[in-house]
Structure 1
Amino acid sequence: MYKESTNVVVKHLVNRLRDVRTAPNEFRLTIEEISRIIASETLNDFKTITTNIETWQGPLDVQVLEVQKLVLIPILRAGEPMLTGILRTLPYARSGFLAMKRDEKTAESKLFYENVPPLEDKTVLLLDPMVATGGSLIDAITYLKSKGAKKIISLNILGAPEGIDAVQKAHPDVDIYIAQIDERLDDKKYIRPGLGDAGDRAFNTN
């Protein structure tokens, strides 16, 4: 299953990312904000547990998200601002990291670093801003399944229909929540109209 956000604020923020005048710091902050919104939409039906808190009128039983069942895993480096944004809302969620690089000639990805906590009985929120061909996302999901993740949910900012379809065919059990699905991939496997390289723009590199 995949679901594109219909939130008008999310669409507004995506268009801010598209604007070449958006400075790196604002670009990162915008990714953080979009990520917080789509994460809240994603977790709307996530399991809650009862806990007791101390309020100004005394103890109170309340429902809270079972954050100990969540693991946030960004695909570095572009996924890092997504993690930062979501951790502002869920500061006690555990995190892991995958570093992958796309070969610009073959459009294939390679995993060259990983650091993930135990994933058994955990729901993973896999954070990757861009879904172009879907190759890196497919490889990341395959790897996390091999580590025993109970459920994997992909959170993305921008994608092409071709990439979304590829991920769904490879991993039909993985839900995708995405801010915006663009028109297509071009002959160089870039998203159109897209927003450029999210990692370069977020960290002011070429």
Structure 2
Amino acid sequence: MIVHDFSRTHSILNHFVAELRDVEIQKDRMRFRKNLERIGEILGYELSKTLDYCITDVNSPLGVKPTELLKQQPVLCTILRAGLPLHQGMMNFFDKAETTFVSAFRHHPNGEKEFEIVVEYLATPSLENKTLIISDPMLATGESLANVYEVLLSEGKPKKVHIVAAIGSKPGLDYISTKLPENTELWIASVDDILDNHKYIVPGLGDAGDLAFGKKLSK
């Protein structure tokens, strides 16, 4: 897996990540969602530089301008519900893309630390021979993302897979590198070293879904 870790570069992106983490700024849900959206836009733009383009003549009122335009629109996939703001940032740039929505959550059958990943809902076009971009704000253990990818394969094998995330853990990155195609590219704003006993990223930021949309009923 090819990792593009943007915390290693100096850019305004680091400000948006810092605000996501800040316990005081987190109290403003709208700003939290907006910062995830901004991160989606920046990472989507950087990712777009690697896609395939073709020369197309564009007619203006005064002439014709040959311009490099996308050869094929990608399919944007997001993992509900936390991924929606990040997905919106991607949609702001890839506004003609097809979309895939899938639900995946941690199910604690006995209310203990151990959990299983449950995938309950999938709405997608065919993925056969297309460029698939999966956005998920938090890449903790990587199990959710790996499970989602396996479910998506039932709708066709993509020719290329990209992952877009705000914050991930090194163990999570190591895990998905063994579960996704070798040429998968990860576009991530920041990588933290460890997971705690509950498999949450440290220092991370907490539960992205709850911070964006409010607390949910426990499963």
Indicate the RMSD between aligned Cα atoms, in angstroms.
1.5
Partner of residue 87, structure 2: 83
Q: Distance in 2 between matches of 1:65 and 1:7?
A: 28
**1:51 maps onto 2:32 in alignment:** no
Q: Distance in 1 between matches of 2:72 and 2:97?
A: 5
Q: What is the deviation of 1:116?
A: 0.6
Label 1:163 to 1:107 Cα distance change in 2 as closer, same or farther (>3 A). Answer: farther
Partner of residue 22, structure 2: 19
The structure 1 segments of at least 4 consecutive aligned residues displaced by more than 6 Å after TM superposition are: none
TM-score normalised by structure 2 residue count? 0.88
Q: Distance in 1 between matches of 2:121 and 2:19?
A: 31
Partner of residue 198, structure 1: 208
**SS state at 2:18 partner:** helix
Question: Structure 1 unaligned runs (5+)?
Answer: none
Contact 1:107 1:189 in 2 (8 A): no
Question: Structure 2 unaligned runs (5+)?
Answer: none
Q: What is the deviation of 1:39?
A: 1.3
Aligned partner letter, 1:179: A
Percentage of identical aligned residues: 35
Instruction: Give the number of equivalent residue pairs.
Output: 205
Partner of residue 138, structure 2: 130
Task: Give the alignment of 1:14-163 within 5 angstroms.
Answer: 14-22=17-25, 23-68=28-73, 70-104=74-108, 105-148=113-156, 149-163=158-172
Deviations 1:106-145 (A, max 9, x none): 2321100000101112010001000111100111122223
Contact 2:57 2:64 in 1 (8 A): yes
Q: What is the deviation of 1:56?
A: 4.4
